[in-house]
Amino acid sequence: MSYPPPPGPDRSPTPPSAPAGQHTPDGRWYWDGERWTAVAVSEPTWARPYAPPQTRATAAVVLVAMAAAAEVPVLLGWIVALVRALATGPQPGLTLPPLLAYVTTAALVLGLVGGAIAVPMWMHRAYRNLPALGEQGITWSPGWAAGGWFVPFANFVIPYLCLRDLWRGCGDERPLPKLYLAAWIASYVLLIPESAFFRAGPRPLWYVTAILSDATLIVTGLVLITMIRRISRRQRERQTEIRDG
């Protein structure tokens, strides 16, 4: 979109003509065809200048990807166990080669623990950037964006709502926040029948629920990674538009 530069100490007092009805990228100035008019924007008390989220985003992506990747050999092991059970009858529990089991366990623990710290830190930074990027109608705060992950039961809802606010500024119509929420809830719901079938001993239904549980965890991680990267990139682009606009 083309519009004249907003007023400022180094701007010309008579900007070039341009069609009326345009806003600057940060939404703080409106062009009526002849002059700029400041748009009243009510900022929350926690608003701060823009700070790049890329470093925190990289840490979050790496750790979540590590946890998701660690689930892959486990998922493949359950699939093999299911095929064997259907072909020759139930077999003893899932076993992985010792070295692979050690690496998988270490990567899973590091990814889950590290991700549980890195993702909230990234969300705090990204959410705090919203006022500086001209976003309005913000319903939560950076504190809730980070702390909501650690509130029992609410950790299903609050992170989703904050991710939805962040995703809204991306201009991406894919319903990834809803997909993330559905996969996240499904992974926990599937633990109920998986535990029940586990107590009953190795059976095909146990393998099926284990496969579905691990698959939903992998999907959750991949969707979260996609949103983190897309939101962080869009925030950087929007900041550039505001700075150069």
Measured in degrees and rounded to the nearest 5, phi and psi for residue 33 equal: 105, -20
203: which strand partners? none
Distance separating alpha carbons of residues 190 and 194, to the nearest angstrom: 6
Give 95's Cβ-side CA count (13 Å radius).
5
Strands 29-31 and 22-23: antiparallel
Contact 27, 39 (CB under 8 A): yes
Residue 174 and residue 178: Cα distance in Å, rounded?
9
Consecutive H or E run containing 28: none
Residue 96 identity: L
- What are 139's two structure tokens? 């319903």
Residues 21, 24: Cα–Cα separation, whole Å? 10
What is the arrangement of strands in the sheet containing 22-23, beginning at the earlier edge strand? 22-23, 29-31, 36-38
- List the chain pLDDT tens, one digit each, 245 residues: 445 556 555 554 445 556 666 666 656 666 767 777 766 556 788 988 999 999 999 999 999 999 999 999 989 888 888 888 888 866 655 566 777 788 888 999 999 999 999 999 999 999 999 999 988 878 899 999 999 999 998 999 999 999 999 999 888 889 999 999 999 999 989 988 877 776 666 677 888 888 999 999 999 999 999 999 999 999 999 999 988 86
Q: Residue length, the chain?
A: 245
CA distance 54 to 228: 9
12: exposed, middle or buried (Cβ count in 10 Å: 0-12, 13-18, 19+): exposed
Task: Please state the separation of Cα 17 from the chain's center in Å.
Answer: 41
What pLDDT is attached to residue 72? 94
Task: Report the C-alpha gap between 94 and 209 in whole angstroms.
Answer: 13
Unique residue bearing structure tokens 């959410």: 127
